[in-house]
Structure 1
Amino acid sequence: MANRSRRGWLLGAAVAVCTATATPGLSAAQPAPVDQQECSAVRTNWSVEAKPHAAPESLLNTYSDKGKGWTGGDSTYSVKLSGGRTVWVFSDTFLGPVNPDGSRPTTTPFINNSFVVQRGHSLKTVTGGTRTNPTALVPPPANGWYWFGAAGTSKAGRNLDILAVQFERTGPGQWDWQWVSNHLARFDSRTLKLKELVPLPSAANVQWSAWQLSEGGYTYIYGVEDLGAAKYQHVARVRGDDLKGRWQYWTGAGWSADETASARVLEGVANEHSVTRWGDGYLLVTHDTNELFSKRVLGYFSCSPVGPWVNPVELYQTPETGAEGSYGDGDIITYNSHDHPDQRSGSTLLVSYNVNSLDPNTDLYADVSIYRPRFLGITLTPGANR
């Protein structure tokens, strides 16, 4: 069980649980000096109304309780595909069964990545392997595993493209593991079968997996330089929608073909966050990793997809977190909040976040409800300009 649900510790906790050091050639932690145009997204004072338990939370919970497939996972990216399908993309995943009292058998299958396909109110779990012996969609290497990051499509929707990060064990201990490299996991969007696993740039200690944004003829890729107690956003891009193309990296003043010239854009982001169009500007949604085990979900604004990110507003405080949270358990953490623009309704965002435990071998088996995503309907209303 040493492998189970370690993702929450790494991605949400801002704890130095993997080997990481600052990389020479990266700029200091300064905002990218882009001219901040006079866009209303930045000028506006935004007020926030957050409503928990937004759809599809109840649908996923009911499906989980039945214990017939997916019963919990994290990452929680989403992509709309043809045929009225939404693919929910998960990393570490528990499968059924579920006991009548809401606990999990200790023998329940656990894999490192999976899909749940939604069509209307119908859900279906997709894994690798067989029905009796399910495995991860991307088979793990001999000494590690792959976690899924942001997802998108390419080639007019024929491909489902997922940013996948590889980790490896470095010893027998619980914390003996580290990030290794970045990959593109390309699936056939019709069959959801893996077509290829392609290495992506990995030379700058940046996990290029946080987000994908299609904008202005480019796909922007958002990554995180994870130093444990400090996490910094970086930005790359490729022309068009094929992530196998030539990458360019934001240096703080322009674009470079040198990955090690990539600049730190914003400190305090989570390993998974989102950057989406918001009116005439852009909105970044992230858990606040400037605080240890934070319950704060923040929104930042910019007139450019590469920042600078300014005027942070608190979108929500997660009620599950810590000893004073809804579980009354000091081991419960929340992490990796981000938007789902494919599910957006007008000015209301659909934001998800993940819940986990620092004692997973006890808590996640005792209560199936912990390790499931939560969804928020967040409405931003403009007030007076700044």
Structure 2
Amino acid sequence: TGGDAVYSVPLPDGRIIWAFGDSFLDTVYPDRSRPPSPLIRNTMMLQQGKNMTTLHGGTPDAPAAMVDTDDPDNEWYWPLDGTVQDDILYMFYAYFIRTGGGAWDFQYVRTELVAFQLYDFSILWQEPVWEAPGIIFGVAIMETDEYTYIYSTDDEPWTKHAHCARVPAGDFLAPWEFYDGAGGWSSTFPGEAGWMTKGSGDFGVDVAASYSVFYHEGRYRLLTQEGFLGPDIHSYESLEPYGPWKGKQLVYTTPEAGGTLFTYNALLHPHITRPGSSAMLVSYCVNTNNFFELFSDADVYRPYFFWLDYLD
């Protein structure tokens, strides 16, 4: 009945898997309030046409995260991007630990790759694939015939920059190569030198905690919400999957932001298009800094959507 993150992966049979972060699973009352219930750190929803099935770990009476830990109050996984290869669903998950008692007192530790069976979404295996302080890989992936590109963001509260890595198409456990910032690729992580940029001499393209990279109408495109939990969503374009990212364009301003509400983590879902149009679906998350509003109004914690047509 509420969640954030909102990644989607098309399945070979036409269904869609949606991956959510912190999720409410209980009911919503007619007045749009919800009963007090714990947040489940990650869940999924299976969409088949207009039918939706919620997926989680544990049992119906005691639900748990799809990808769980022994101590979910103090360590947890949040979902990142994913894809399907050879009838296996691969999803990146970011592992976090609690560092204090405040709402924002947590720290990223590593990214793990989780392989799910497609027939029942049980976990086949999970493996750490990236561990470095402050750099979260897996927030976006973009696939070509030759390579799968894996993108990062910074685990920083304010300005976030991005790196690009690649592996042979679909082979996430192969050695990663990193864009070096100078048109080449390296087996060694390049640090700040490898930041994706807007152009010559630019300090780096700013991204949100989540963003999307995709190929559309002859160009690679990057869609991201502005930092600092700002309401504006921008698009960039490039001739290469690693930039430079140019042509910054404001595509949407989230109307819900303001007062106690904030919006974040816009994502584009290029496999979902409006019938009879080239417009693609974009999601973003709405949340509140008033804890009690989470229960008094279910509409302040759920994804919102709009259509984006690059031909308009």
The amino acid that maps onto 1:251 is D
Q: Distance in 1 between matches of 2:62 and 2:231?
A: 37
Q: Secondary structure at the match of 1:259?
A: coil
User: Residues 180-199 of structure 1: matches in 2 within 5 Å?
Assistant: 180-199=109-128
Out of 286, 298, 319, the residue aligned to residue 234 of structure 2 is 298
Judged with a 3 Å threshold, the aligned counterparts in structure 2 of structure 1 residues 356 and 75 are, in CA distance, closer, same or farther, namely same
Could you say what secondary structure the match of 2:28 adopts?
A: coil
Q: Does 1:367 align with 2:303?
A: no
2:108 touches 2:155 (CA, 8 Å); kept in 1? no
Matched, 1:234 2:172: no
Q: Which has the higher helix share?
A: 1
The answer to whether residue 123 in structure 2 is matched with residue 170 in structure 1 is: no
Bigger strand share: 2
- In the TM superposition, residue 204 of structure 1 has moved relative to its aligned partner by 5.6
- Paired with 1:318 and 1:172, the residues of 2 have a C-alpha distance of 30
User: 108, 121, 140: which is aligned to 2:69?
Assistant: 140
Aligned twin of 2:185: 255
1:255-294 map, 5 Å: 255-261=185-191, 263-265=194-196, 266-289=204-227, 292-294=228-230
Q: What is the one-letter code of the residue matched to 2:26?
A: G
Aligned residue in 2 for 1:154: 85
Decide which of 232, 254, 269 is 1:340's aligned counterpart: 269
- How far apart, in 1, do the equivalents of 2:302 and 2:157 lie? 24
CA distance in 1 between partners of 2:156 and 2:14 (Å): 40
Structure 1 residue 343 displacement after superposition: 0.9
Determine the C-alpha separation between the residues in 2 that align with 1:171 and 1:372: 26
1:311 matched to 2:240? no
Give identity over the alignment, percent. 35
Partner of residue 23 from structure 2, selected from 86, 89, 93: 93
Matched residue SS, 1:336: strand
* C-alpha distance in 2 between matches for 1:133 and 1:314: 43
Q: Does 1:115 align with 2:44?
A: yes
**CA distance in 2 between partners of 1:376 and 1:140 (Å):** 34
Aligned-partner Cα distance in 2 for 1:368–1:136: 20
Match runs of 1:18-167 below 5 Å: 71-106=1-36, 108-142=37-71, 143-155=74-86, 158-167=87-96
Counterpart AA for 2:32: G
Matched-pair contact (CA < 8 Å) for 1:230–1:267: no
**Does the Cα contact within 8 Å between 2:271 and 2:280 map onto a contact in 1?**
no
| Offset at residue 78 of structure 1 (A) | 1.0
- 1:115–1:126: 8 Å Cα contact kept in structure 2? yes
For 1:293, the aligned partner's letter is L
- 5+ residue gaps, structure 2, are 197-203
Aligned-pair CA distance for 1:233: 1.1
CA distance in 2, matches of 1:222, 1:263: 12
With normalisation by structure 1, the TM-score equals 0.74
Aligned mates of 1:200, 1:130 — CA distance in 2: 29
Contact residue 209 and residue 272 of structure 1 kept, 8 A: no
The CA RMSD over aligned residues, in Å, is 1.6
CA deviation after TM superposition for structure 1 residue 358, in Å: 1.6
Q: What is the total number of aligned residue pairs between the two structures?
A: 299
SS in 2 for 1:369: helix
CA contact (8 A) 2:109 2:133 kept: no
Q: Residues 221 and 237 of structure 1 are in contact (CA less than 8 Å); yes or no, is this contact kept in structure 2?
A: yes
Q: Aligned equivalents of 1:144 and 1:338: distance in 2?
A: 25
- Quote the offset at 1:99 in angstroms: 2.5
1:243 to 163, 172, 180: 172
User: 2:180·2:190 contact (CA, 8 Å) conserved in 1?
Assistant: no
For residues 193 and 246 of structure 1, the distance between their equivalents in structure 2, rounded to whole angstroms, comes to 26
Cα separation, partners in 2 of 1:233 and 1:141, compared to 1, 3 Å: farther
Q: Is 1:222 equivalent to 2:158 in the alignment?
A: no
Do the aligned residues in 2 keep the contact of 1:146 with 1:167 (CA within 8 Å)? yes
Q: 1:320 aligns with which of 256, 262, 265?
A: 256
Shift of 1:85: 1.2
